């Protein structure tokens, strides 16, 4: 384990906070609840963005950009939405600073008070549906399939880097459709896109499900979600996709002329993932030696570290390193040859290990004379000596193996920490151990809230692929037809 670095067992929460800072991913800024995403962290986020963006475009979506500010009155138009989003938010009241009357510093200029306050967007349904009203006249204008990459602000009281920050980066898709079915299909489709991304690129297994009424997005008819499990057994909601019905169309009076020539309200979906995914990525794979990154999202996939004494040795190593770099780059693999002499090999080993570079090759003069190099894989921390023959092909396959191994490991852990619980007595004991408890529930918000109050466990989702099964609610004993996932969560 890394020197001076706290272990997961000692304190999972502190381990995470320290890891984020020490791996150069992010740090807190001077602005309460806002973080600085450092270049290494941002490079991972960029890889996520590029992959997701391509997936959105492949499913027919286009990017656009809508204003940062939302007039206060817009929030008053959708009754549930205002409850959910217009509370803890950043309120812009003035458009100018002026010299303070006492001569010291600046104050908001009383002459420059806004007639109507502006809210820094916590999410953009309102401003976007205000815009869609102008775009939509007839069914010929539908569907509209827009996405935007943007920053949003929610004035969270307790913040944690990536997981919950006042400002965060995200994408939000907002679609408009002719029919209820089409809009709901879109939201289900995007849940699957998110799940595919999480599993194939992040190597994070997720449960696809639907939220209970109580956990639903404010203004949604149905909220689909993907739920991941962290190593400590806590759940993390990694993405949500909402079927909004006609709620926003009604609030913003967005109607279209239908195929049978009637004016109808438009149907909507919205869906988003955020820099929170970074938290999920970090917490799923990393270990007591630092960050572990799946190759598909690692900014640097392979690092080559030389060990040599003489110039002759260095030349020999250079020649292999150059060849390897060319071969790997041709395979689309990112590689760095770190022959900087300011740092010792040992320092470099620690550094790249801590930063989660999936594969490290040590090009040691001594080994090389025997035609061998040392290969270190970050996921298992195993080393092996190998001949240089076919090395780049071997590394290419190794990266795939690492990607798969990380996913398999996470699936295994999740399976170990997921179990059926059938009595309230068991529930209270089991919830303390963490993980997903698969339980029957009577379907009422009342019961859900009571369980939350007593145990801090929430219903993460009703899995979409759970089998029908007769049973009794663990809390009320009332009949139930399907198990749902209870867990404590981030």
CA distance 171 to 49: 9
Instruction: Verify binding: residue 25, a copy of itself, rule CB under 8 A.
Output: no
Residues 68, 318: contact at Cβ < 8 Å?
Answer: no
Instruction: Verify binding: residue 67, a copy of itself, rule CB under 8 A.
Output: yes
CA distance 384 to 391: 13
Instruction: Verify binding: residue 79, a copy of itself, rule CB under 8 A.
Output: no
DSSP 205-258: -EEEEE--GGGS-TT-SEEEEEEEE-TTS-EEEEEEEEEEETHHHHHTT-EEE-
Tell me the window of 60-68, 203-211, 303-311, 481-489 that interacts with a copy of itself (CB under 8 A): 60-68
Residues 93, 111: contact at Cβ < 8 Å?
Answer: no
Q: Which of 91, 385, 415, 449 binds a copy of itself (CB under 8 A)?
A: 91
Q: Which of 3, 65, 389, 465 binds a copy of itself (CB under 8 A)?
A: 65
Instruction: Verify binding: residue 151, a copy of itself, rule CB under 8 A.
Output: yes
CA distance 116 to 110: 14
Reduce the DSSP state of residue 118 to 3 states and report it.
strand
- Provide the minimum distance between the beta carbon of 32 and a copy of itself in the complex, in angstroms, as a whole number: 9
Burial class of residue 68, CB neighbours in 10 A (0-12, 13-18, 19+): middle
Q: Which of 153, 191, 206, 399 binds a copy of itself (CB under 8 A)?
A: 153
Tell me the window of 80-88, 186-194, 305-313, 453-461 that interacts with a copy of itself (CB under 8 A): 80-88
Give strand pairing partners of 229: 235
Q: Whose Cβ is closer to a copy of itself: residue 37's or residue 459's?
A: 37
Instruction: Verify binding: residue 282, a copy of itself, rule CB under 8 A.
Output: no
Instruction: Verify binding: residue 170, a copy of itself, rule CB under 8 A.
Output: no
- Provide the minimum distance between the beta carbon of 405 and a copy of itself in the complex, in angstroms, as a whole number: 29
Residues 6+ apart with CB under 8 A from 345: 305, 306, 307, 362
- Provide the minimum distance between the beta carbon of 167 and a copy of itself in the complex, in angstroms, as a whole number: 5
CA distance 228 to 82: 28
- Provide the minimum distance between the beta carbon of 135 and a copy of itself in the complex, in angstroms, as a whole number: 8
Q: Which of 123, 131, 240, 455 binds a copy of itself (CB under 8 A)?
A: 131
Instruction: Verify binding: residue 102, a copy of itself, rule CB under 8 A.
Output: no
| Total binding residues toward a copy of itself, as defined by CB under 8 A | 62
Q: Whose Cβ is closer to a copy of itself: residue 15's or residue 45's?
A: 45
Residues 6+ apart with CB under 8 A from 165: 33, 34, 35, 156, 159, 275
Reduce the DSSP state of residue 72 to 3 states and report it.
helix
Instruction: Verify binding: residue 39, a copy of itself, rule CB under 8 A.
Output: yes
CA distance 285 to 433: 20
User: Per the structure block, which two tokens stand in for 483?
Assistant: 């198990």
DSSP-H helix ranges across 381-476: 391-416, 424-430, 445-455
- Provide the minimum distance between the beta carbon of 416 and a copy of itself in the complex, in angstroms, as a whole number: 36
Q: Which of 1, 11, 14, 93 binds a copy of itself (CB under 8 A)?
A: 93
Instruction: Verify binding: residue 54, a copy of itself, rule CB under 8 A.
Output: no
Q: Whose Cβ is closer to a copy of itself: residue 19's or residue 439's?
A: 19
Instruction: Verify binding: residue 55, a copy of itself, rule CB under 8 A.
Output: no
Q: Which of 23, 35, 220, 228 binds a copy of itself (CB under 8 A)?
A: 35
Q: Whose Cβ is closer to a copy of itself: residue 110's or residue 371's?
A: 110
- Provide the minimum distance between the beta carbon of 114 and a copy of itself in the complex, in angstroms, as a whole number: 9
DSSP 348-398: HHHHHHHTT-SEEEEEEHHHHHTTEEEEEETTTTEEEEEESTTHHHHHHHH
Whether omega before 429 lies within 30 degrees of 0, making that bond cis, reads no
Q: Which of 2, 55, 92, 411 binds a copy of itself (CB under 8 A)?
A: 92
- Rg for the chain (alpha carbons), in Å? 26
Give strand pairing partners of 307: 364
Between strands 436-440 and 418-420, the pairing is: parallel
Instruction: Verify binding: residue 341, a copy of itself, rule CB under 8 A.
Output: no
Q: Whose Cβ is closer to a copy of itself: residue 127's or residue 293's?
A: 127
- Provide the minimum distance between the beta carbon of 239 and a copy of itself in the complex, in angstroms, as a whole number: 20
Q: Which of 1, 54, 79, 106 binds a copy of itself (CB under 8 A)?
A: 106
Which residues bind to a copy of itself, rule: CB under 8 A? 27, 29-31, 34-39, 42-43, 45-46, 62-76, 82, 86-97, 105-106, 108, 117-120, 127, 130-131, 134, 140, 146, 150-151, 153, 155, 167, 169, 342
């Amino acid at each position: 384990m890394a020197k001076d670095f706290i272990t997961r067992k000692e304190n999972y929460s502190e381990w995470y906070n320290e890891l984020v800072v020490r791996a150069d991913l992010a740090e807190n800024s001077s602005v309460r609840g806002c973080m600085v995403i450092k270049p290494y962290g941002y490079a991972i986020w960029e890889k996520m963005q590029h992959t997701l963006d391509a997936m959105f475009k492949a499913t027919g979506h286009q990017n656009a950009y809508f204003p940062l500010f939302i007039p206060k009155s817009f929030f008053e138009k959708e009754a549930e939405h205002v409850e959910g989003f217009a509370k803890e938010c950043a309120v812009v009241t003035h458009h100018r600073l002026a010299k303070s009357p006492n001569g010291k510093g600046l104050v908001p200029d009383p002459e420059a008070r806004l007639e109507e306050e502006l809210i820094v967007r916590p999410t953009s349904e309102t401003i976007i549906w205000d815009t869609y009203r102008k775009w939509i006249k007839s069914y010929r204008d539908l569907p509209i399939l827009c996405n935007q990459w943007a920053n949003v602000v929610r004035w969270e009281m307790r913040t944690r880097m990536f997981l919950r920050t006042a400002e965060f980066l995200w994408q939000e898709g907002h679609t408009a459709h002719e029919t209820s079915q089409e809009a709901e299909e879109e939201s289900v489709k995007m849940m699957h896109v998110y799940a595919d991304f999480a599993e194939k690129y992040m190597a994070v297994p997720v449960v696809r499900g639907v939220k209970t009424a109580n956990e639903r997005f404010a203004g949604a008819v149905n909220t689909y979600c993907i739920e991941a499990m962290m190593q400590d057994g806590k759940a993390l909601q990694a993405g949500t996709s909402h079927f909004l019905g006609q709620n926003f169309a009604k609030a913003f009076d967005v109607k279209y002329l239908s195929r049978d020539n009637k004016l109808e309200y438009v149907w909507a979906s919205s869906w988003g993932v955020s820099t929170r995914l970074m938290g999920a990525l970090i917490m799923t794979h990393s270990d007591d030696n630092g960050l572990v990154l799946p190759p598909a999202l690692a900014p640097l996939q392979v690092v080559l570290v030389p060990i040599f004494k003489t110039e002759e040795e260095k030349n020999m190593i250079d020649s292999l390193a150059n060849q390897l770099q060319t071969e790997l780059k041709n395979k689309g693999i990112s590689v760095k040859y770190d022959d900087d002499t300011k740092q010792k090999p040992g320092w470099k080993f620690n550094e790249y290990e801590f930063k989660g570079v999936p594969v490290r090759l040590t090009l040691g003069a001594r080994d090389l004379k025997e035609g061998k190099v040392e290969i270190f894989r970050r996921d298992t921390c195993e080393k092996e000596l190998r001949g240089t023959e076919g090395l780049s092909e071997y590394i290419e396959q190794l990266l795939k193996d690492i990607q798969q191994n990380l996913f398999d490991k996470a699936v295994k852990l999740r399976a170990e920490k997921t179990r059926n619980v059938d009595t309230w007595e068991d529930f209270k004991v089991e919830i303390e151990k963490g993980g997903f408890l698969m339980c029957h529930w009577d379907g009422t918000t009342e019961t859900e809230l009571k369980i939350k109050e007593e145990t801090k466990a929430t219903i993460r989702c009703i899995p979409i692929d759970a089998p029908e099964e007769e049973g009794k609610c663990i809390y009320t004993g009332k009949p139930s037809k399907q198990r749902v996932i209870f867990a404590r969560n981030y």
